[in-house]
Structure 1
Amino acid sequence: MPNANSDRRSPQPTNELSQVQRRAVGELLRVSPAADDLARRFEQAGFHLALVGGSVRDALLGRLGNDLDFTTDARPDEVLKIVRPWADAVWDVGIAFGTVGCRKDVSAGNGSEQGFQIEITTYRSEAYDRTSRKPEVSYGDSIEEDLVRRDFTVNAMAVALPQKEFIDPHNGLEDLATRVLRTPGTPEESFSDDPLRMMRAARFAAQLDFEVAPEVIAAMTSMADRIEIVSAERVRDELNKLILSDHPRKGLRLLVETGLADRVLPEIPALRLERDEHHRHKDVYEHSLTVLDQAIALETGGPDLVLRLAALLHDIGKPKTRRFEKDGRVSFHHHEVVGAKMTKFRMTKLKYSNDLIKDVSRLVELHLRFHGYGTGEWTDSAVRRYVRDAGPLLDRLHKLTRSDCTTRNKRKAMALSRAYDGLEERIARLQEQEELDAIRPDLDGNEIMKVLGIPPGPQVGKAYKHLLELRLEHGPMGRDAAISALHQWWAAQPEG
């Protein structure tokens, strides 16, 4: 089937195409022991098998992992019969949608084994209810019919196995070489069938650093309201993949510019505050994207969803708290508190886990705390409270706070950096002296009850809180001093 957009393209240089083909050969040779063995079993049973979609795209980009996607003309029950004797594990949770999953471990040739996670999906020809995200699955009879239903041309390529015949009816290889996202048919038809593909366009732009074709952007813009029929969970999953990608700024910009963000994450486009010559202030939208970039640069051990979400959302309370002061300045008093509440609301709407919501909103709430530090005026007790309030999020709070400095004033930036260096050094010294990460009073609840001769109840909690405040204010007191302080406090209580 010819590509609907093929007349808009010019042939690509042969050397570019041969480069991606060479990369693909190397990747396919690596997975051949598993892929070819499986393909021969399908062939012997009278069926066809092809590597397809993202697996072919990633092979051509030289980044194929051990998760392999295949398509076949065999129906799911027939697929199960073929893979069960062959695979090391089989699961059929997706069988209602025509997908069978399995795992196969093969020798890597150096005495070790490679484990492949495999999904095999029967050719599909899907009919969608235009008011629902869930497709009505019907099986197709040809690979061409299967490929035309896929989201983008770079995901609509296949390699028939074991003969390794390359199948590309929609010129995906050309689009891959020029790093462009197009749809196999018209984008309007594609997005009407499956609105989540609009989010996927932004996600792939961020993951692969591809450009999105103008006609695809136009369709995303005109059809943005279609995303509202998609479940919050599916939107959240695409958003996570975008935010955890190598170029999240690119995908987020696309969501904002097409109007999709207004439907799924409206707090971000709302950061584009109007500015005028009399009330100058930082562009909060651009600032937030820069903070995200800078937080990513500070990551260690891989992408950190909590840190990235906090960086993106840390200033979302500013539009609601903006005030124009009499002296011409703009203020955003308590935007961190408002922002934390807004973060909790939006993440709850997107069905994030309670733990993730708690961590991200806490970071948003704490992100301004450091700015009270000045040039080191905090007492040791203030430093202890900073550590206690951050808890296990302290390392992320360090990174978020440092990322939040986007000033172009080099002197100011250096002063902020030195001040935070000083705070971290003080924290390290106190931690060494006091085991600051686990700040507790010098007496626990059982000891309090024993010293005061009282049973469990609210008085024990009040006493514990009082001793904790003393601990934060003065550092470790020792058991005898703590008992003395507890008696003094108890004598002043009505219960005492």
Structure 2
Amino acid sequence: MRLLSDAELAQLLDKDIFHKISSAADTLGLECYVVGGYVRDLFLERPSNDIDVVVVGSGINIAEALKEQLGKRARLSVFRNFGTAQVKYKDMEVEFVGARKESYSHDSRKPIVEDGTLEDDQNRRDFTINAMAVCLNKARFGELVDPFDGLADLEDGIIRTPLDPDVTFSDDPLRMLRCVRFATQLNFFIEDETFDALERNADRIKIISGERVQEELNKIMMTAAPSKGFVDLYRCGLLPRLLPELTALDIVETRNGRAHKNNFYHTLEVLDNVSRKSDNLWLRWAALLHDIGKPKTKRWNNAQGWTFHNHNFVGAKMVPDIFRRLKLPMDAKMKYVSKLVDLHMRPIVIADDVVTDSAVRRLLNDAGDDIDDLMTLCEADITSKNEVRKKRFLENFRIVRSKLHDLKEKDYKRLLQPCIDGTEIMAMFNLKPSREVGELKKALKDAVLDNRVPNEREPLMELLMEKAKEMGLVKEE
């Protein structure tokens, strides 16, 4: 962070776009300020092309005047119902809004809006670090207006609301998720009184649409260490209301002196491990959900201790309902996450034994183009504190990766599907789609994957006929 004087702010704002806004405001006789994230990011020395401008008066009028100055290359969008306008120019977006004050009803986050002063507008801002404004009028160009000591909070790394946090969060419960999101993105702490208000108002999140919730969750997921955000969401009571399947993992049971690990904190460790390796949002979702099937599959076995057999399969079946509830995409992205959850134990099973070509071929066939992401997830899943065991797993994963590379080089992906398909099998034995067809296809596929026969028509046909005779589909001669 860098502390900036008004003169230094004026120097940083010494750009054509701000001078044009200034000229338009002075010509119309209106006060004009750049506010919010753009100002915050000036002090944090972070690049930003999204500019929010508050006008004491009509923001639309200044937007229209700016469009005239910028000419045909600028695009103006006006939203008169909301009193806002947007100007897009080159790689910049400038949002204009008239200063306003807001009031809310208890069952809606849509405010009743009235014209207001700059002070009114800053009062309605979510957090002190987003309530700072810098004047753009020529006479005061670069002057910081910071009534809530947002600059001090920025310096101390604190997220705090400008006014009573209970009112702030109750009025617009989405701000609770934004609070956690900003704390995670900036690696800040949430001030105690503000955090207490999160706990008191957590139930208000139910009036927020799934679309807005998932937007904030995705932003938390894409931070450098998303675990921080999920711990804060859990501590304040929001996570049990949004992802109860995840908080159900926060339990450790002991029987006969044997305990299983805490799968909630293990999951967050896996998520952070994946986040250090990949910017793929959906791979991160797969990491977050990879163990959600464990509570439903947990069993005690006197010989083995705690087991979670088939938790990957059960977890994969849970993914669609979670995506549907959170309004996440129900397309190939959901199927990708479900697939990785389902397969995430396979490389671990392989790595825990002798790494055979046959097992790796099967893995490659089932994972397809997502094999590299699956391996990234599985490597991230090794969080054992037993360094010897961890080293052995990672070394075996290296062998798995090496074999995968060799198989790809030989183009096994193309060769793994038997050249005799289900349609031909049904025609040969006069069958309809049925269990018998599935068994015959599986027999051929297993033989190819195990390298018992080459993927060629003649040896496969011979094998097919033998299997069909065993099943009574062909009469003995």
TM more than 0.5: yes
Listed as ranges, the matches of 1:227-246 within 5 Å are: 227-246=205-224
How many angstroms apart in 2 are the aligned matches of 1:472 and 1:89? 59
Amino acid at match of 1:429: D
Q: What residue number does 1:189 align with?
A: 167
Q: What is the Cα deviation at residue 332 of structure 1? A: 1.5
CA, structure 1 residues 329+36, in 2 after alignment: closer, same or farther (shift >3 Å)?
A: same
Kindly indicate whether the alpha-carbon contact (under 8 Å) linking 2:6 and 2:143 is maintained by their aligned counterparts in 1.
Answer: no
Helix, strand or coil for the counterpart of 2:261? coil
Q: What residue number does 1:127 align with?
A: 103
Selected match of 2:327 from 343, 351, 360: 351
Amino acid at match of 1:410: E
Helix, strand or coil for the counterpart of 1:319? helix
Listed as ranges, the matches of 1:13-412 within 5 Å are: 19-21=2-4, 25=8, 29=12, 32-75=15-58, 77-85=60-68, 86=70, 88-90=73-75, 92=77, 95-105=80-90, 115-136=91-112, 138-162=113-137, 163-276=141-254, 278-299=257-278, 303-327=279-303, 329-354=305-330, 355-374=332-351, 377=354, 379-412=356-389
What is the CA deviation profile of residues 436-478 of structure 1, one whole-angstrom value per residue up to 9, with x for unaligned ones?
27743335789x59x978999859x868776545433337524
Listed as ranges, the matches of 1:413-452 within 5 Å are: 413-436=390-413, 439-442=416-419, 448=424
Q: What is the Cα deviation at residue 41 of structure 1? A: 2.0
CA, structure 1 residues 437+20, in 2 after alignment: closer, same or farther (shift >3 Å)?
A: farther
What is the CA deviation profile of residues 66-96 of structure 1, one whole-angstrom value per residue up to 9, with x for unaligned ones?
2222122343542452243226343537553
Amino acid at match of 2:67: R
CA, structure 1 residues 315+270, in 2 after alignment: closer, same or farther (shift >3 Å)?
A: same
Helix, strand or coil for the counterpart of 1:69? strand
Helix, strand or coil for the counterpart of 1:402? helix
Helix, strand or coil for the counterpart of 1:121? strand
How many angstroms apart in 2 are the aligned matches of 1:438 and 1:61? 54
Helix, strand or coil for the counterpart of 2:450? helix
Kindly indicate whether the alpha-carbon contact (under 8 Å) linking 1:140 and 1:146 is maintained by their aligned counterparts in 2.
Answer: no
Q: What is the Cα deviation at residue 197 of structure 1? A: 0.8
CA, structure 1 residues 466+121, in 2 after alignment: closer, same or farther (shift >3 Å)?
A: farther
Amino acid at match of 1:102: V
What is the CA deviation profile of residues 406-444 of structure 1, one whole-angstrom value per residue up to 9, with x for unaligned ones?
111111001000111111111111111134277433357
Kindly indicate whether the alpha-carbon contact (under 8 Å) linking 1:153 and 1:175 is maintained by their aligned counterparts in 2.
Answer: yes
Helix, strand or coil for the counterpart of 1:125? strand
Deviates more, 1:415-424 or 1:260-269: 260-269
Query: How many positions carry a matched residue from both structures?
Result: 464
Q: Which runs of 5+ in 2 are unaligned?
A: none
What is the CA deviation profile of residues 330-369 of structure 1, one whole-angstrom value per residue up to 9, with x for unaligned ones?
2222211222222322221001101222111221111111
Amino acid at match of 1:407: S
How many angstroms apart in 2 are the aligned matches of 1:349 and 1:495? 50
CA, structure 1 residues 34+275, in 2 after alignment: closer, same or farther (shift >3 Å)?
A: same
Q: What is the Cα deviation at residue 483 of structure 1? A: 5.9
Deviates more, 1:288-297 or 1:218-227: 288-297
Q: What is the Cα deviation at residue 153 of structure 1? A: 0.3
TM-score (norm 1): 0.84
How many angstroms apart in 1 are the aligned matches of 2:10 and 2:408? 49
Q: What is the Cα deviation at residue 43 of structure 1? A: 2.2
How many angstroms apart in 2 are the aligned matches of 1:40 and 1:437? 64
How many angstroms apart in 1 are the aligned matches of 2:368 and 2:290? 18
How many angstroms apart in 1 are the aligned matches of 2:228 and 2:3? 24
Q: Which runs of 5+ in 1 are unaligned?
A: 1-15, 106-114
Amino acid at match of 1:233: E
How many angstroms apart in 2 are the aligned matches of 1:382 and 1:144? 67
Deviates more, 1:230-239 or 1:33-42: 33-42
Helix, strand or coil for the counterpart of 1:134? coil
How many angstroms apart in 1 are the aligned matches of 2:429 and 2:328? 43
Helix, strand or coil for the counterpart of 2:93? strand
TM-score (norm 2): 0.87
What is the CA deviation profile of residues 85-114 of structure 1, one whole-angstrom value per residue up to 9, with x for unaligned ones?
226343537553333222213xxxxxxxxx
Kindly indicate whether the alpha-carbon contact (under 8 Å) linking 2:67 and 2:75 is maintained by their aligned counterparts in 1.
Answer: yes
How many angstroms apart in 2 are the aligned matches of 1:432 and 1:330? 41
What is the CA deviation profile of residues 265-308 of structure 1, one whole-angstrom value per residue up to 9, with x for unaligned ones?
11222211044473312121221111111111222xxx221121
Q: What is the Cα deviation at residue 243 of structure 1? A: 1.2
Amino acid at match of 1:414: K
How many angstroms apart in 2 are the aligned matches of 1:28 and 1:393? 49
Amino acid at match of 2:407: L
